[in-house]
Amino acid sequence: MSDLLKGNFKTKNEVVAPEVAEETLEDRFERTALKRLGGSIAFVSKKKVMWEFKPKS
Amino acid sequence: MAKVLLINPTVREEDVPRHVPYGMALLAAIAIKAGHLVQVYDENAWRKGDAVTRQVLEADDWDLIGLGGITTAYGAIKKIVGMAREICPRAVITLGGGVLTSMPQDMMDFLPEVDVGVIGEAFVTFPEMLDMIDAGNRDWKKCNGTISRNAEGKLVLSPMRALIPELDVLPYPAWDLFPLEEVYFKNSESLYSEEGMMAQRRLDINGSLGCSLVCKFCFHLGIAGDMRYEEAKDGGVDVAFDRKGSYTRTIRYHSPEYIVKMVKHAYDTYKIDFIAFIDENLMTMDQYSGRTWLKEICRLWHEYGLAPKKNPDGTWTGVYWGGTSHASLCTQEILKIMREAGCSQLVYGYESFDQSVMKALGKGATPANNIRSFFWTLEAGIRPIPNQIIGFPNETFDSLRADMDAWQKLGIVVKPHFATPYPGSEWYTMYRQHILQQYKGDLERFILDLGDASKSSAIICHNFNAIELVGLRDMMMSFNWRRIDEYEKIWRINHRIPDGKPSTLYPGFAPHMTLDLPEPKLSLATAG
């Protein structure tokens, strides 16, 4: 029986969980900071940065 | 035997998954008991992404793929049924639960991939559908409690499904088909009491269905006798819920023996240490039973050895528990009995400490009763969880001040919900036009915007718009009386209300609620 799919019979195809990459330090930092957001706790969410962004001149 | 895949869609992504979907677990148990082949994919628990959901859909030749949930699961449901239709073109896709029941015609229009919707209670409808699948019959209009499409693609409602009269005929939920050890027990903590916080192996149970109260914000899922089929303006049939002057209720509860034996089963099988009753309101059931139900549950809790005993290290044997109470219906006697049996926390929908707001709400409670129950519960040794809402239709500066005054005197620390017109509630029926106006006439946008009411969505307050309510909530939480007084002066100027007159437009409307839009046209056929 698959761990992800639980039931009373065996399915034709097994469901395989993808390898989960361990949380990076960057992800851990941003997740932890988000919980305490406010005041001087502010941060750059690096994956959301629009690198091509140019302010209007 | 039908090959069934049940998928629990992702909901409340901002939090970890905490609750086994009780209705789905019951339906899985019913289907297995009837001899069908059942698999459950708890997408909400696993949160493994679309690639895994696709694998699940490809795992077998499903006869039926069933989804359900509350309205806020709509976004996930929409995504899953799209994938299901593409990967499993032969399977019957069905949707049930509050998301479908609250607005069956709209949902079937939004989700053309869904073949058949289950309206209201599915305990009989669902196994009947599986029997029809086994018989090769897809004529859903012959199955009561469904909505489907005819050959021309027109929506067809079958006759309304009657509620089952006796809840004790239900099997225990199929908890073992959900990832208890992998996910749910790890998220047992509930921050409602010390014992709730320390819980390591919590399960939810439901001891009753229904509620005798008529709170305007509440939706009873069509399983509390709250649903009616009425003749629509176009001559078809419409599904209707509470509205002023038209309330209907059917109250049902499990016997105390059933409940406590089920908890004992869970204690012996899964080694649980905490039970959260997810009943709409334990106290309304107790009152309906003639004040016997909770007493007997507590007596049996002791008799079955479930009353908790604390160890020196803070752990315990037995099972602590919590649920929902009501300010006017609780008694000192029952609260004391409940505490002795291990009740550690009770949610009270105090909602407001303003008399005029409470009177308009239909809750059968007053600010005075709120305060009385607050002290009774504390004195019994149970933590009252004092839920609050702001943004009621008739909310004013004075009613907000009444809330703040009570919070200060009672030591209440709270971030109030915003009054939200969830589909199926009386507010939704009353304010549908105003809701559509706030979403440019796009109902689906409103549904996708709905969350758990801690953020603003459609506003139904006649006096304050969303931005005002967010700001006022912030000022209230920091007890900034001065800022609120100052803003009231500005608000009076903006709305041309002189000093000395009440600071309200009610029953009139502020600009954010005044644009009138025509009702969308829906056509619906009636099953012959």
Q: B429 pLDDT exceeds 90? A: yes
Q: B99 pLDDT exceeds 80? A: yes
For residues B72-101, give the mean pLDDT: 97
| pLDDT on residue B480 | 98
* Chain B neighbors of A14, CB-CB under 8 A: 59
Counting residues of chain B whose pLDDT is more than 90, the rounded percentage is 89
| pLDDT on residue B108 | 98
User: pLDDT per residue over A4-57, tens digit each?
Assistant: 999 999 999 999 988 777 789 999 999 999 989 888 899 899 888 887 777 776
Q: B528 pLDDT exceeds 60? A: no
Q: Are residues B256 and B301 in the same domain?
A: yes
- A residues 1-57 near B, CB within 8 Å? 2-9, 11-18
What is the token pair recorded at B381?
């040794």
- Does the residue B200 lie in any domain? yes
User: pLDDT per residue over B233-268, tens digit each?
Assistant: 888 899 999 888 889 999 999 999 999 999 999 999
The answer to whether A17 contacts B179, with C-beta atoms less than 8 Å apart, is: no
- SS3 of A3-56: CCEEECCCCCCCCCCCCCCCCCHHHHHHHHHHHCCECCECCCCHHHCCCCCCCC
* Count of structural domains, chain B: 2
- Closest Cα in chain A, distance from residue B59 (Å): 4
Residue A29's domain spans which residues? 1-57
**Alpha carbons A8 and B33: distance in angstroms, whole number:** 11
* Chain A neighbors of B179, CB-CB under 8 A: 3, 6
Assign A1 a pLDDT band (cuts: 50, 70, 90).
Answer: very low
Largest CA distance in chain B: 73
* Chain B neighbors of A18, CB-CB under 8 A: 48-49, 51-52
Q: Last residue of some domain: B390, B424, B455?
A: B390
Q: B278 pLDDT exceeds 70? A: yes
Helices (H), B135-255: 194-198
Quote ipTM for the complex.
0.88
DSSP structural state of residue B159? P
The enclosing domain of B66 has a CATH number of 3.40.50.2300
| pLDDT on residue B515 | 61
Contact B222, B120 (CB under 8 A): yes
Residue B298's domain spans which residues? 188-212+251-390
Across A43-47, B2-6, B108-112, B511-515, least confident range: B511-515
DSSP structural state of residue B183? I
User: pLDDT per residue over B316-353, tens digit each?
Assistant: 999 999 999 999 999 999 999 999 999 999 999 999 99
- Does the residue B36 lie in any domain? yes
User: pLDDT per residue over B106-144, tens digit each?
Assistant: 999 999 999 999 999 999 999 999 999 999 999 999 999
* Chain A neighbors of B46, CB-CB under 8 A: 4, 17
Mean pLDDT over all residues of chain B? Answer: 95
| pLDDT on residue B514 | 74
* Count of structural domains, chain A: 1
The enclosing domain of B277 has a CATH number of 3.80.30.20
Q: Are residues B298 and B331 in the same domain?
A: yes
- Does the residue B439 lie in any domain? no
- Does the residue B367 lie in any domain? yes
